[in-house]
Amino acid sequence: MASRRTTADQLRWTLAADVCALVRKNPGITRARVAHHLGISSGTAADLVTRMRQAELLDEGEAVPHGRGRPTAALTAHPHGPLVLAIEIGATDWRVSTAGVDGRPATVASGSHNGNSPRSVLAPLRQASDAVVEHHPGRVQAVSVAIAATVRDGNIVQSSVLDWQRTSLAPLTVPGAELFVTNDGTCEALAESRRGAARDGRSALHVTVLNGVGGGLVLNGTPVLGATGLAMEIGHLPFGDPDAVCGCGARGCWDTALGTGALSRTLGLSDSATATVEAAITQAAPHDVPVIEAAAASLGRGLAGLINTTDPDIVTLGGIGPLLRSRSPKAFEAALASGLMRCLRDDRPRIVSGELGSDAASIGAIEIALDAVTSPTGLTAWEVRRAQ
């Protein structure tokens, strides 16, 4: 009898995990659509949703009429359900967000930093996290950090952008919550592949150009991390000047040739803030046009190499990448075409602008946390925690 009960519980939480995934992927989804997607009867779906409401996982909003027939109610996160904390640490700023099982982010705190020391950057993040935990006791199930750094086995090895070496993010740990640490480019790639411009792609490559070059590759909804998490450090591919020394210790990294930092130096700008560089690109004086064209060509040439080696069916661009492409399309296209293998020139993947903008990294961090929290194991843990 006990084994039968265990099997029934496992099946129930497996279906519940599938429902949570559908709610994240399809905002506004109804019970009827859940039944259709999962291939279950309306009665089974109704029973499942009722159980999930009782477990404080899901709620149903006010019924809304859609043409003829009964009004339908959208499934949303339960107001007292599990939460995840998403922490984004960029080159000069930070943000803390929360999300329920529906994955909708809500920013609770943000600020800027000078990156001088990990302690000074992490202190306000810890303060913001503590405030969330205090306001929502027992609800935070995971903390997920998206950071502009090289991450191996969940630890920061180095960050050329922040100038950090072998830094522990243990100060961000919340009691009873699992801690995830992921490169911000990987988080962006995951977000665009699940909720953004690449959501219909099987093999989605994302390239973002901010202070340097970042990105990731997502296969069938799962990010490619490599053996230890170092995969897709594309900013450190040798696509730059072979004599240029990168903060990572290598020479010729793409980061040294492309990004807001490189462009601000070449254009003689007062700072490398994204808004400053975007304005300079948009309002480029005639003598600055060759610099913009060279950056667009670098992006196109690098993309060609990545497409040749990763074989994506869609490529998304983030940061200032779309702007470089639109301002210097000829330079971009010429470099891309010349770098692609002949077999790909007439059958290349779609290259589109990302849809999630500056929210992409946080959304990706939320996705990583919710993959664990809304798994059958995670949902079982939530049930046990509620019973205590």
Model confidence over 4-20: pLDDT tens digits? 445 566 677 999 999 99
Q: Note every long-range contact of 358-361, with CB atoms under 8 Å and residues 24 or more positions apart, other chains counting.
A: 359/105, 359/191, 360/187, 360/188, 360/191, 360/192, 360/196, 360/208, 360/318, 361/88, 361/90, 361/146, 361/184, 361/187, 361/188, 361/191
Q: What is the pTM of this model?
A: 0.93
The pLDDT tens digits of the residues spanning 204-262 come to: 999 999 999 999 999 999 999 999 989 999 999 999 999 999 989 999 999 999 999 99
- Please check the confidence at residue 386 and state whether its pLDDT lies above 90: no
Residue 111 CB neighbours (<10 A): 12
Say what the pLDDT of residue 9 is. Answer: 65
* Cα–Cα dist 304/340, whole Å: 5
Decide if pLDDT at 315 tops 80: yes
pLDDT for 65 equals: 57
What's the gap between Cα 279 and its chain centre?
26
- Separation between Cα atoms, residue 85 and residue 211, nearest integer Å: 25
Q: How far is CA 183 from the centre of its chain?
A: 9
The pLDDT > 70 percentage for the chain reads 95
pLDDT in tens, 73-92: 899 999 999 999 999 999 89
Contacts 24+ apart (CB under 8 A), 238-244: 239/298, 239/301, 239/302, 239/305, 240/298
pLDDT of residue 306: 98
Instruction: Specify the range with the lowest mean pLDDT, choosing from 40-49, 176-185, 318-327.
Output: 40-49
Strand, helix or coil for residue 197? coil
Q: Which residue, chain included where needed, has tokens 């009004």?
A: 71
pLDDT 10s digits, 122-148: 999 999 999 999 999 999 999 999 999
Instruction: Locate 272 and state its tokens.
Output: 């490398």
Q: How many residues does the chain have?
A: 388
CA atoms within 13 A on the CB side of 238: 6
pLDDT for position 4? 47
pLDDT of residue 237: 96
pLDDT higher than threshold 80 for residue 2: no
Domains within the chain, CATH numbers bracketed: 2-77 (1.10.10.10), 83-187+362-387 (3.30.420.40), 199-354 (3.30.420.40)
What is the distance in angstroms between the CA of the first residue and the CA of the last residue of the chain? 24
